[in-house]
Chains A and B, each alone.
Chain A
Amino acid sequence: MGAATALTGKQKVAWAAITVAVLVWALFPVISIMATSFKLPSDLNSGSFLPTTWTWSNYEQILGPDGSAQELFLSSLRNSIGISLIATAVSSVLATLAAYAIARLEFPGRKLILTTALGVSIFPVISIVTPLFNLWRSIGLYDTWAGLVIPYLSLTLPISIWTLTAFFRQIPWELEQAAQVDGATTWQAFRKAIIPLAAPGVFTTALIAFFIAWNDFVYGISLTSTEAARPVPAALAFFSGASQFEDPTGAISAAAVVVTIPVVVLVLLFQRQIVSGLTQGAVKG
């Protein structure tokens, strides 16, 4: 780093202060929930931030074999994982094909697809939930996995198509031809020159799509009624305390922590790919 980019003492202090402020702002709720998840029910209203006695009882309640919320939580976790993965897979495949076509081929209606996608994505979810509820009930999709996968696609597809189109437009497609001249078959050229460049983008988009599906609440609560399809964010509302007079806050916090962990782990694991997927550029300097 040259002298021009080195920070003065004052600037360093300022940057540190800003960083701390942002970190507190972003992490306080998470830490608060984590702290709550380790509290005893009796501790919930004590007013202290950290638990007075640390306990795993909340986690036992949702995960343990005798936990009161175990069945509810595990089935919803299974639903969440399954539905989100299916929605992500389907939307990644469809969006990749669509974006490839939009970025590479000349055909009438390219613009139309992009604008439609944008239109769909700005449509307020809450306004279609009621009609969808009625429709699903009459055609038998209510409270099924497919009944959630389909609306999730309407959330994940537009953004996936948009990000992937932008990404594919940047790929130097000439590489495919260069590879063919170098002696590759059409398929080899695609596999060895294009896929390695496209993969980070597809991966990043898939991750974003997964988070969107994973975090959904409105569809999850409106279009399900039983454990057959109810995802975690919706299921949290159905938790009950160990007894009728006990607050389920601790169990809800524990469940929230459990569903946050995969997101954090995924992001940490694939941080590099996400960043390179968002920044990898052309060859020419």
Chain B
Amino acid sequence: MASITLTDVVKKYGDGYPAVNGVSLDIKDGEFVILVGPSGCGKSTLLRMIVGLEDITSGELRIGDAVVNDKAPRDRHLAMVFQNYALYPHLTVFENIAFPLRLQKGKYTEEQIKDNVEFAADTLELREHLDRKPANLSGGQRQRVAMGRAIVRDAQAFLFDEPLSNLDAKLRGQMRTEIARMQRRLGTTTVYVTHDQTEAMTLGDRVAVLRKGELQQVASPRALYEQPVNLFVAGFIGSPPMNFVPGEVHGDTLRLPFADVPMSDALRERVNGRGLVIVGLRPEHVEDVRSLDESKVASGVTFEADVDVVEWLGSELYAYIPFDTHADVAQKLEELDRDLDGEGMRTQVVVALGSESRVRDGSHAELWFDPARLLVFDPESGENLTYDEEAAARVDAETEEDRRAAVERAQRDQKQSETAPRHRQAG
């Protein structure tokens, strides 16, 4: 196990396009880091550079203390799970998992190989499939074989490239928790590429958000959600995505298309004379006034709106409210939407209300939000004017603490459940 350090890593493909552009990332020993970003932002490229399948155009990559820029994949001792699993179709499940061990000539005896493979197979519940060929397995089983091949040897780190994207939703959920559990127990440094929101938020200790080859922000999932540094991160993290509306500054008030919001001194200072800003409001931060008590209503801003469409999902209810956008920010928002692989212009606000809400298609709703939770962005640079560095650092520190506790607990449980001593390591 080892740390992985990237310093100003750049990847230019043959056509000169910088697929990865100046990425610096410090992955601690035993940490679980997620790489997210829209399609084509360079996630796979970055992962393949770490594992050694792509040359690094410039910058430095360290594994542990050693610079490995020019090392062959086999000398980096990393294990990777490919998006399409890349199992060897001519080998049985047993031989697939044993493959990395057999390549280290003389290091393992036949018995140790058998032992290690069976240990991995037990961990992944593959015991009864060891004699089968990959072609005869289900998608989830193949995925587990690919993971077995990764965990069977003592790799410095695990690299996953969208390992769950070929599975159906239910299996994806199961495997997600399985991966989380396994990583905690083994305590191996892990880099995990995904563009799935849920995987990014639930699996990682830290999440790195990439956009067009550039790193936007690296933080704990909670810090990303609460303190995004810019429009892109704010729009990327969260589901349904954050609403962005134009906000005109009129003296002490911020005029949104549907409500006027009083500005605090701190906010006014940060807005710093701009006449127009982009305001972000998370769907889940809006509530139905009828579901609140009066004291709470008084503490925030209420507004009335005509609801266009309602989606009832059982646990929640999404209401869509159209609004007229402001010409000056329309272009910026459109561009953002394209970056985020969006499907159209967002000239509607989505609000997530409690499922007991009586709001229906076409009804006139009275809604409420807390202005302190609004995020305010610069319309030119997209920078988050309300970003609070201290709060972000605090959240990160808390998450780090939680993680340590979780790792300790997982490893303690592991020791207790281990009855017979295993010879995992070759002599």
Task: Name the CB-closest residue of B to A193.
Answer: B88
Binds B, one of A63-71, A155-163, A170-178, A239-247: A170-178
Contact pick for B90, options A177, A178, A197, CB 8 Å: A197
Tell me whether A183 and B103 are in contact in the complex, defined as CB-CB below 8 angstroms, given that A283-B134, A285-B139 are known contacts. yes
Task: Name the CB-closest residue of B to A106.
Answer: B14
Cβ contacts under 8 Å, A196 to chain B: 88, 90
Binds A, one of B71-79, B204-212, B321-329: B71-79
* B251 CB-CB contact with A under 8 Å: no
* B84 CB-CB contact with A under 8 Å: yes
B85 touches A183 (CB 8 A): no
Cβ contacts under 8 Å, A260 to chain B: none
Distance of A279 from chain B, by nearest CB (Å): 11
B149 touches A182 (CB 8 A): yes
Number of chain A interface residues as a range: 20 to 34
**Cα–Cα, bound, A178→B86 (Å):** 6
A179 touches B99 (CB 8 A): yes
Number of chain B interface residues as a range: 20 to 34
Cβ contacts under 8 Å, A192 to chain B: 88, 99, 103
B85 touches A184 (CB 8 A): no
Cβ contacts under 8 Å, B74 to chain A: 180-185
A182 touches B99 (CB 8 A): yes
Distance of B367 from chain A, by nearest CB (Å): 47
B53 touches A284 (CB 8 A): no
**Cα–Cα, bound, A179→B149 (Å):** 11
Tell me whether A181 and B78 are in contact in the complex, defined as CB-CB below 8 angstroms, given that A188-B103, A283-B135 are known contacts. yes
* A75 CB-CB contact with B under 8 Å: no
* B166 CB-CB contact with A under 8 Å: yes
A180 touches B79 (CB 8 A): no
Cβ contacts under 8 Å, A193 to chain B: 88
**Cα–Cα, bound, A285→B137 (Å):** 9
Tell me whether A182 and B87 are in contact in the complex, defined as CB-CB below 8 angstroms, given that A174-B82, A177-B53, A284-B166 are known contacts. no
A174 touches B90 (CB 8 A): no
**Cα–Cα, bound, A159→B361 (Å):** 65
B87 touches A283 (CB 8 A): yes
Cβ contacts under 8 Å, A197 to chain B: 89-90
B88 touches A175 (CB 8 A): yes
Task: Name the CB-closest residue of A to B153.
Answer: A183
* B18 CB-CB contact with A under 8 Å: no
**Cα–Cα, bound, A174→B48 (Å):** 12
Contact pick for A178, options B82, B135, B142, CB 8 Å: B82
Tell me whether A183 and B84 are in contact in the complex, defined as CB-CB below 8 angstroms, given that A283-B89, A285-B142 are known contacts. no
B84 touches A181 (CB 8 A): no
* B238 CB-CB contact with A under 8 Å: no
* B51 CB-CB contact with A under 8 Å: yes
**Cα–Cα, bound, A193→B78 (Å):** 18
* A121 CB-CB contact with B under 8 Å: no
* B419 CB-CB contact with A under 8 Å: no
* B382 CB-CB contact with A under 8 Å: no
B84 touches A174 (CB 8 A): yes
Tell me whether A181 and B142 are in contact in the complex, defined as CB-CB below 8 angstroms, given that A197-B89, A280-B89, A283-B134 are known contacts. no
A180 touches B100 (CB 8 A): no
* B425 CB-CB contact with A under 8 Å: no
Tell me whether A180 and B86 are in contact in the complex, defined as CB-CB below 8 angstroms, given that A283-B134, A283-B135, A284-B166 are known contacts. no
A172 touches B100 (CB 8 A): no
**Cα–Cα, bound, A123→B72 (Å):** 48
Tell me whether A172 and B86 are in contact in the complex, defined as CB-CB below 8 angstroms, given that A180-B74, A181-B53, A285-B142 are known contacts. yes
**Cα–Cα, bound, A184→B80 (Å):** 13
Interchain residue pairs A-B with the least CB separation, the first 9: A178-B86, A182-B100, A183-B103, A180-B73, A196-B90, A183-B74, A284-B84, A181-B80, A174-B86
Contact residues of B with A, CB < 8 Å? 51-53, 72-74, 77-80, 82, 84-90, 99-100, 103-104, 134-135, 138-139, 142, 149, 153, 166
Please name 23 pairs of A and B residues whose Cβ atoms are closer than 8 Å in the assembled complex, sorted by A: A172-B86, A175-B88, A177-B73, A177-B82, A178-B80, A178-B86, A179-B99, A180-B52, A180-B73, A181-B53, A181-B74, A181-B80, A182-B74, A183-B74, A183-B100, A186-B72, A192-B88, A192-B99, A196-B90, A197-B89, A283-B134, A285-B135, A285-B142
